[in-house]
């Protein structure tokens, strides 16, 4: 038995012809670049998933606790090394 292929009509993709824009000169080029930067930044800010109030407070508390821990660690190590260097230098 021979199988028949179902032929669907192929859709042609129409491509748009984009005309190149005239290059901007001088101050207009600079202003266009600055405007493009802020436009891109605004698009990125709209995509950000901002945390709610409770998540913000819990993350703030986590940062404070980690900072306090590493502060204590650095102070402890500094005091320990100072003590060791004083012992070495006194002999």
Domain limits of the chain? 53-91
Q: What is the rounded distance in angstroms from the CA atom of residue 44 to the CA atom of residue 51?
A: 16
Percent over 70 (pLDDT), the chain: 76
- What integer pLDDT is reported at residue 47 of this predicted model? 93
Query: How high is the pLDDT of residue 17?
Result: 72
pTM of the model: 0.48
- Tell me the pLDDT of the chain averaged across its residues: 85
Structure tokens belonging to residue 81 = 């090394």
b or e along 12-41 (b: 16 or more beta carbons within 10 Å of the residue's beta carbon)?
A: eeeeeeeeeeeeeeeeeeeeeeeeeeeeee
Q: Report, as ranges of residue numbers, the positions in the chain whose pLDDT lies below 50.
A: none
State residue 29's pLDDT score.
85
What per-residue confidence (pLDDT) applies to 22? 66
Q: How far apart are CA 17 and CA 61, in angstroms?
A: 56
């Amino acid at each position: 038995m021979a199988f028949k292929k179902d032929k669907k009509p192929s859709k042609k993709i129409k491509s748009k012809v984009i005309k190149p824009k005239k290059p901007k000169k001088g101050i207009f080029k600079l202003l266009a670049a600055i405007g493009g930067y802020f436009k891109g930044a605004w698009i990125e800010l709209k995509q950000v998933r901002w945390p709610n109030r409770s998540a913000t407070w819990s993350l703030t508390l986590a940062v404070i606790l980690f900072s306090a821990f590493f502060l204590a660690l650095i102070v402890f190590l500094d005091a320990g090394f100072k003590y060791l260097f004083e012992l070495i230098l006194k002999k």
